[in-house]
Amino acid sequence: MTSNESQIVLFSLDGVLYGTDVHQVREVREVQDITPVPYAPFYVEGVTNLRGEVIPVIDLRKRFGIREKDKDERSKIMIVVQDEDKKVVGIIVDSVMEVMSISQNDTERTPDILTTADSDCVLGVAKRGEDLIILLDLQKVVSKKDVEATRTIEELAASSVESPMPETSSPEILG
Amino acid sequence: MSRKHEREGFSENKRTGKDVDVDALSEALESVERVLRLSNEARRASTNLKEYAENASKSSNQLSVNVQQLATASQQVSEGAQRLSKIAEESAKNMNALFTLLNETSKSSQTVNATAQETLGRANQVVEAGSKATQSINNIRDRIENVLKAVENMTSTIERVGQLTGSITDVAGQTNMLALNAAIEAARVGEAGRGFAVVADAVKNLAGQTRDTANEAEASINSMKEAGSTVLSLSQDSSKESVSGAELINAAIEGASQVKAAIHNVAKIMEDLNAQVQQGMAAAREVVKGIDEVSSVAQESASAAEESSAGVEEQSAAAEEMATISKRIMDETAQAETRLNGILAEAEKLQEILRSLAG
């Protein structure tokens, strides 16, 4: 592996190929055992238990404002690492294909005209034969604010694990 | 002699008058009286004769009329006999026609009988063939049952294989996931993980191939399932059809049995008909015989009547002749009577003269 090559995890969402640096992804999991959480942001699917660690799961379709689609056996959760405190967030995508190398020569930065305040998570576009791969910074996609929001949920979920009937939640909603 | 006496007596009387022989005179008178008596008797006889002749004439006329009537009657008899003879001939012709018809009926009934026997044979063949067909259908049904069982077994086996393929696909998916995570892990450790990444890639490829193969197997299994259910429904249809075929064949056999019964009836009726026709023919023969007799009797009667007619003609001629003779007798008798009357008148005059002479 030379310095002008980087490894990305290739995944798809609504027929579009995306790539994210392999260092941002800790692992890939099946979409299962997600517990919905009340009052969470609309794009938060719920929480799941990752080997004893309760992590929030968000739906990238909802986060990107793409129309919803039923999950199938190809749908996967990518476990994305938050740099600062090693906290992780699950991100649901349509499918995860492979780990691949891309060359800097095949990568172009996002044209400035496409850049907005919210689009700084798009790093550029890589070519792979005829296909284009949109390179994402998933850590930016899962913003600090979102993480804080989900952390609150985490704490809520964690406390609910210890005491199933927290005073702040009604039993009906948690049901 | 008496006339000589009378003439002599008369002339002597006239000539002499008083010297008349009294004895001769009385003798003459007696003679005249005898003549008178005889003449009267003769006249009476003549009158009787005339009467007889008249009667005879009348009778012979009557006879003639009767004979005429007889002739007419015998003519009528002859004509009647001839008509009867003709009628008898026509009857004989009709009877012959009847004979022909009866013969034809007899032949037709025999033909019908033969046809009925043939049909009976065919009905028997139908029954036989139907029994064989029923047997075949039962065999087919048994085989279809076997096929159904085999297909059911196959289908459950396929289901199991399908479940296995599902498991393989699952395992392939999990393997793929493991390979993916291994690749991620290898990439994250950088250069050190490079060899591991190759292995992970190989595992990933194997998982992909396994998944593809499992998918192909699943597709094959699905088409096998489809084929199985098609065979199943076809076999069930065949089973149903074999049942309805068996029913049809049973109906055909029953129909053939009914045909057989009907043919037996027809044959019986034809036999009866034939027997009746034979009886009819015998009766017709009797009738023809009777007609022949009638015919010959009529002819005899006709010839007898003709003979009788000839006899009557002869009789008629005889009667006419008799009538003519009677007429002549009557005429002759009338002349004789006239003459007798003359004789009587002369005799009476003579008697008077003689009395005056004697007086």
Whether A22 sits inside 8 A of B173 (CB atoms) is no
Tokens of B67: 């004979």
**Residue A58 confidence (pLDDT):** 92
First to last CA, chain A: 51
- The beta-carbon neighbor of A28 closest among B181, B188, B200 is B181
Q: What is the pLDDT of residue A12?
A: 95
φ, ψ (nearest 5 deg) of residue A49: -100, 110
Among all residues of chain B, which has the CA nearest to that of A95?
Answer: B177
- Of A60-64, A75-79, A167-171, B205-209, the one with minimum mean pLDDT is A167-171
Give residue-wise pLDDT tens across range B97-107: 888 888 888 88
Cβ atoms of A31 and A94 within 8 Å: the answer is: no
- Using CA atoms, how far apart are residues B122 and B116, in angstroms rounded to an integer? 10
Contact B177 A23 (CB under 8 A): no
B183 to chain A: closest CA residue: A99
Contact between B177 and A28 (Cβ < 8 Å): yes
* Cβ–Cβ under 8 Å, residues B205 and A98: no
Supply B282's token pair: 């015998």
Task: Please answer yes or no on whether B184 and A25 come within 8 Å at the CB atom.
Answer: yes
3 state DSSP class of B212: helix
SS3 per-residue string spanning chain A: CCCCEEEEEEEEECCEEEEEEHHHEEEEEECCCCECCCCCCCCEEEEEEECCEEEEEEEHHHHHCCCCCCCCCCCEEEEEECCCCCCEEEEEECEEEEEEEEEHHHEEECCHHHCCCHHHHEEEEEEECCEEEEEECHHHHCCHHHHHHHHHHHHHHHHHHHCCCCCCCCHHHHC
* A99 contacts on B by Cβ (under 8 Å): 180, 183-184, 186-187, 197, 200
- Pick from A8, A23, A99, A101 the residue to mutate for testing the B interface (most B CBs within 10 Å): A99
Q: Running DSSP on this structure, what letter comes out for residue B18?
A: S
Chain A residues inside the 8 Å CB shell of B188: 22-23
Instruction: Characterize the bridge pairing of strands A44-50 and A5-13.
Output: unpaired
Q: Give the residue, B357 or B170, on which the prediction is more confident.
A: B170
Element (H, E) at B299: helix B194-358
pLDDT interval class at A174 (50, 70, 90): very low
pLDDT, one tens digit per residue, over A90-114 is 999 999 999 999 988 888 876 665 5
Place B83 in a pLDDT band, splitting at 50, 70 and 90.
Answer: confident
**How far apart (Å, rounded) are the C-alpha atoms in residues A150 and A26?**
18
**pLDDT at residue A106, rounded to an integer:** 82
State whether A25 and B183 contact (CB < 8 Å).
Answer: no
Smallest Cβ distance to B188: which of A1, A23, A73? Answer: A23
Confidence (pLDDT) at A92: 95
Check A23 against B204: CB less than 8 A apart: no
pTM of the model: 0.53
pLDDT for the residue B336: 85
Q: Is the CB of residue B199 less than 8 Å from the CB of residue B241?
A: no
How far is residue B83's CA from residue B298's CA, in Å, rounded to a whole number? 9
Q: What is the pLDDT of residue B193?
A: 86
Mean pLDDT of B17-42: 81
Render B185-197 in DSSP notation, one character per residue. Answer: HHHHTGGGGHHHH
Residues of A in contact with B187 (CB under 8 A): 7, 22, 99
Residue A143 has pLDDT above 60, yes or no: yes
Contacts of B318 (CB under 8 A, 6+ apart): none
Rounded distance, CA A1 to CA B187, Å? 10
For residue A61, what pLDDT is reported? Answer: 92
What pLDDT shows up at residue B317?
Answer: 85
Per mean pLDDT, which range of A31-35, A115-119, B82-86 is the poorest?
A115-119
Q: What is the pLDDT of residues B185-194, one digit of tens each?
A: 998 888 888 8
* pLDDT reported for residue A172: 46
Tell me the pLDDT of chain B averaged across its residues. 84
Place of tokens 């890939």: A28
Cα dihedral B9, B13, B14, B19, rounded to 10, equals 140
Residue of A89 and A110 predicted with greater confidence: A89
Distance from CA of B191 to the nearest CA of A (A): 7
Question: Mean pLDDT throughout B271-296?
Answer: 85
Look at residue A13 and tell me whether its pLDDT is greater than 80. Answer: yes
Q: Residue length, chain B?
A: 359
B184 at A interface, C-beta within 8 A: yes
pLDDT beyond 80 at A115 = no
Q: CA–CA separation, A63 vs A43, rounded Å?
A: 5
Question: What ipTM goes with this model?
Answer: 0.77
Q: Read off φ and ψ for residue A80, nearest 5 degrees.
A: -100, 135
pLDDT, tens digit (0-9, with 9 covering 90-100), for B293-303: 888 888 888 88
Per-residue pLDDT tens digits for B211-264? 899 999 889 888 888 888 888 888 888 888 888 888 888 888 898 888 888 888
Residue of B nearest to A96 (CA): B180
| Lowest-confidence segment of A46-50, B80-84, B129-133 by average pLDDT | B80-84
User: What is the C-alpha to C-alpha distance for residues A106 and A81, in angstroms, rounded to an integer?
Assistant: 26
Interchain CB contact of B98 with A (< 8 Å) = no
- Residues in chain B with CB shorter than 8 Å from the CB of A28 are 177, 180-181, 184
Residue A2 sits at φ, ψ, to 5 deg, of -90, 170
What pLDDT sits at residue A149? 57
Mean pLDDT over residues B200-220, rounded?
90
pLDDT digits (tens, 9 = 90+) for B337-354: 888 888 888 888 888 888
Confidence of residue A46 (pLDDT cuts 50, 70, 90): very high
More confident residue, A115 or B87: B87
What confidence score (pLDDT) does residue A48 get? 93
With 90 as the cut, is the pLDDT of residue A8 above it?
yes
